[in-house]
Amino acid sequence: MLSMDWIKEHQDEVQAVALHKGIDVSISEVLAAYEQRKRLQMEVDDLRQVRNRSSRQVGAHMQAGRQEEADAVKQQVIRLHDQLTGLEVALQEAERQLTALMLLVPNIVSRDTPIGRTDADNVPVRHVGIRPAFGFVARDHVELSHLHDIVDIPRGVKTSGSRNYYLKGTGVLLHRAVQQLALDYLMQLGFTLMDVPLMVRGEALVSTGFFPLGKEQVYRIADEDKWLVGTSEVPLVSCYADEVIEVNKPLKLAAASTCFRSEVGSAGKDVSGLYRVHQFAKVEQVVICEAEPELSEQLLQDITRHAEEILQLLELPYRVMAVCTGDMAQKTYKQYDIETWMPSRQSYGETHSASNLHDFQARRANIRYRNAKGKLTFCHTLNNTAVATPRILIPLLENHQQEDGSIRIPDALQPYMHGLKMLVPTL
């Protein structure tokens, strides 16, 4: 979240960002709620002092044998207590209202973030790689999967409903291989590998900026305050919630985890194949660093480059997009998406996302460090998708297909595929 002082000084800017991000919150209401809470807090503090002073007077009168005076002050203390109880209830309600409003306030955006409403307004930064020019009628990933007997969508739907699937045989190998390739790559760069909880408390989703907005995208465990994560960013960041940590060197974390997403609001979108599914796997990068804008900007470039280099190892053409305000999450300060060429779509499809959140997420999660002057300061946090599967299997299968239906395995992936250089159709 943003600091209240910053919101007060930049009210118009914050309101404009809320409008651009499509968040229904009135910053003037936020400030009014803050003033109401502050006024009530002062009244409560003043009344507590009066009550405590009166209570001490009762003791003094009793000790001096002035029973009548003691009884009179006792009655005053009772009235003060009743009045204070009412004020404390009002204060609690004011705090609840302020918190609810503050949780809707968006992060500001960088000066170089494009202004726009949807992903159609995202701006290309660079194109990398050469799109394949097939001399034959190319198959899509669904047809290729059937030809190689590596994905079974009908049985996935039969078992678990729409947007579910089974991976089989070399499909499982591919799924695991791209994850291990990404993990090995990040480990060589000094990232600490972690295996994380997939169920978290609602508090973890609030503190990382996924709740209250976006709540409809998360699966809940019935009758419990436990939720299935859609990214290991949540448990990775939450691992350090309410801690003062050492970030003289940026804290670099990576995790491979199963992820879950309800896809509410996506009815009719990408219903065929593996593009938009309820269960998937991601290798996620999370970086926690000092609150230095130049440093976190450089780290954003770094983690984006990591994802690009993994795509280059997979020999896939892609483009990097500067994400516009309307396509950003509430918590994001600056974001790049990477879109990989998918021949069956005749377009690029999003496969990666990299975000710099500045101190917005760390304020919610209360993650701090001591700066050079010894002052407790909220960290900056960043995150990036190193690879997500099975979505990455779409371009992997489609771009490397051959006329006979076989699929070439990129050199970097072959050691993870037991040396396989080519997938040969089984049907």
Active site residues: 261, 276, 350, 353, 391
Task: Name the nearest CA neighbour of 351 among 263, 283, 252.
Answer: 283
Q: Which residues pair with 124 in a beta bridge?
A: 321
Task: Name the nearest CA neighbour of 273 among 215, 344, 370, 377.
Answer: 344
* Cα gap 65→75, rounded to integer Å: 17
Quick check: 342 and 349 in contact, CB under 8 A? yes
Residues 84-110 as b or e (16 or more Cβ within 10 Å = b): beebeeebeebeebbeebbbbbbbbbe
Tell me how far apart the terminal alpha carbons of the chain are, to the nearest angstrom.
54
**Which is it for the CA torsion 66, 71, 77, 80, positive or negative?**
negative
Largest CA distance in the chain: 107
Quick check: 242 and 182 in contact, CB under 8 A? no
Residues 6-36 as b or e (16 or more Cβ within 10 Å = b): ebeeeeeebbbbbebbeeebebeebbebbeb
Task: Name the nearest CA neighbour of 356 among 297, 402, 411, 400.
Answer: 297
Q: Which residue has the tokens 């000066």?
A: 111
Quick check: 394 and 117 in contact, CB under 8 A? no
Quick check: 186 and 232 in contact, CB under 8 A? no
Residues 38-65 as b or e (16 or more Cβ within 10 Å = b): eebeebeeebeeebeebeebbeebeeee
Token couple for 371:
């700066």
Q: Which residues pair with 258 in a beta bridge?
A: 281
**Which is it for the CA torsion 14, 18, 19, 25, positive or negative?**
negative
Quick check: 420 and 170 in contact, CB under 8 A? yes
